[in-house]
Amino acid sequence: MYADRVLSGMRPTGNLHLGHYHGVLKNWINLQHEYECLFFAADWHALTTHYDSPGDIEGNVWQMVIDWLAAGVDPSKATLFIQSRVIEHAELHLLLSMMTPLGWLERVPTYKDQQEKLTEKDLSTYGFLGYPLLMSADILIYRANRVPVGEDQVPHLEFAREVARRFNHMYGKEPGYQEKAEAAVKKLGGKKAKLYEELRTRFQQAGDDAALESAKALLGETQNLSLGDKERLYGYLEGGGKMILTEPQALLTEASKMPGLDGQKMSKSYGNTISLREDPDNVSKKIRTMPTDPARGRRTDPGSPDKCPVWQFHLVYSTPEVRAWVQQGCTTAGIGCIECKQPVIEGVLKELAPIQERARALTEDPDMVKNIIADGCDKARDLARETMRDVRESMGLSFG
Ligand code: TRP
Ligand code: SF4
């Protein structure tokens, strides 16, 4: 099995809401059981668009981290950290900027789109243009091969892949490459080293793809090699240089089924959110005042659930029996909208109760949250430093 490493980042937006929970956090919580996971607060990214009004970035980071933990992201399974606390991201971003064609950045679709959309902001800055490259550095510095992102971020991931490819092509043939690869083979140990060499020869001399796959699997299982040596041996198999940076793959996150209170996407800027720490009375009030199918002007007018945002909530929170009751009751005016909303209110409150309980405990223990993050930053930094050693060396900057 390959050692898959997952990395994802979230901009610090302060308190998270149900859209984040159903759209991102539940996915992270599942992934943490299956993969090695790194999750970080992308605080520098917030500055690419809000450089003139940073607000309370720090406070927003801590509130966001509390929500991650309260929702069930488990620091004993996933490494949680803050981007700007692992300064190596900035170094990789700088070094990558030397070899990234300007045209590649200008062609990233979000660049022009956002500039046109957010007209109240001046986004003709160096940092905003470089945003996808900073994101590439975030990913490549951990040699993460899986990146859970929404549809909107897929072009950014494709960009990161191209940067990695260009980098490996340009700097992958390190001096002394042959000797280093041979030394790494030795480190595999007698039997494995011999098998690796045999498979490599079979692939290189006879084009045996099955041999290539077996050799890759062999490397994947190997525990006692540094990541650097491992990448070297992956590259050596195919005769190319060392794969210094790993091309990441998108792990496409299904679009959230959780809409906002008005049926649009749930987003702070639309004012249609239920925050994870929303007071229960407020939750009830917000749902009770949600718009419904306008056809149901009077209690006796029938309606259709597909024209009603409350129905979308039932799809997230209700059992098939309750949904059948809604369909029947709505279309025959057998139930009223207030009645229909009651199970949704209960569902949301039930989901939020344990989250709010944990958030309260974490809020009362800020040191615990700080320690979790300090620990995560240390772990992330160790991984980042390992990559940076190889990157510097391959660009002629090791000063050893
Ligand atoms: N660009 C992402 C967003 O706005 C956040 C982000 C920054 C990210 N760096 C990343 C996501 C690296 C995944 C991997 O949502
Ligand atoms: Fe919406 Fe339920 Fe009212 Fe039908 S009965 S319009 S689904 S709230």
Q: What DSSP designation does 7 have? A: E
Distance between Cα 276 and ligand 2 center (Å): 24
Residue 89: CB within 6 Å of ligand 1?
Answer: no
Residue spans of the domains in the chain: they are 5-172+245-257+366-394, 177-237, 277-363
Residue 147: CB within 6 Å of ligand 1?
Answer: yes
The highest-level CATH class for domain 277-363 is mainly alpha
Distance between Cα 287 and ligand 2 center (Å): 12
Residue 2's pLDDT band, with cuts at 50, 70 and 90, is: very low
Residue 1's pLDDT band, with cuts at 50, 70 and 90, is: very low
Quick: pLDDT tens for 190-230. Answer: 899 999 999 998 887 877 888 989 999 999 888 888 878 88
Distance between Cα 23 and ligand 1 center (Å): 14
User: Using CA atoms, how far apart are residues 182 and 30, in angstroms rounded to an integer?
Assistant: 39
> What is the position in ligand 1's atom list of the atom closest to the CA of 7?
14
Kind plus residue range of the DSSP H or E element containing 252? strand 249-252
Distance between Cα 106 and ligand 2 center (Å): 46
Residue 138: CB within 6 Å of ligand 1?
Answer: yes
Residue 7: CB within 6 Å of ligand 1?
Answer: yes
User: Using CA atoms, how far apart are residues 400 and 393, in angstroms rounded to an integer?
Assistant: 9
Residue 260 sits at the vertex; the CA angle it makes with 11 and 265, to the nearest 5 degrees, is 60
Nearest Cα residue to 276 out of 80, 73, 75, 82: 73
pLDDT of residue 354: 98
Residue 287: CB within 6 Å of ligand 2?
Answer: no
Pick the CATH number of 5-172+245-257+366-394 from 3.30.70.660, 3.40.50.620, 3.30.950.10, 3.40.50.720: 3.40.50.620
CB 130 within 8 A of CB 174: no
Number of Cβ within 10 Å of residue 21's Cβ equals 24
Quick: pLDDT tens for 327-354. Answer: 999 999 999 999 999 999 999 999 999 9
Residue with the two structure tokens 């045999």 = 198
Pocket test for ligand 1, best of 24, 143, 156 (most atoms within 8 A of CB): 156
Distance between Cα 300 and ligand 1 center (Å): 48
Measured by CA distance, the residue closest to atom 14 of ligand 1 is 8
Distance between Cα 215 and ligand 1 center (Å): 33
Measured by CA distance, the residue closest to atom 3 of ligand 2 is 337
User: Using CA atoms, how far apart are residues 14 and 64, in angstroms rounded to an integer?
Assistant: 5
Pocket test for ligand 2, best of 330, 341, 344 (most atoms within 8 A of CB): 330
Q: What is the mean pLDDT of the chain?
A: 93
Q: Taking 80 as the threshold, does the pLDDT of residue 127 lie above it?
A: yes
- Token digits of residue 101: 């064609």
Q: Which ligand has the minimum distance to the alpha carbon of residue 292?
A: 2
Q: What share of the chain is helix, strand, coil (3-state, %, to 5)?
A: 60, 5, 30
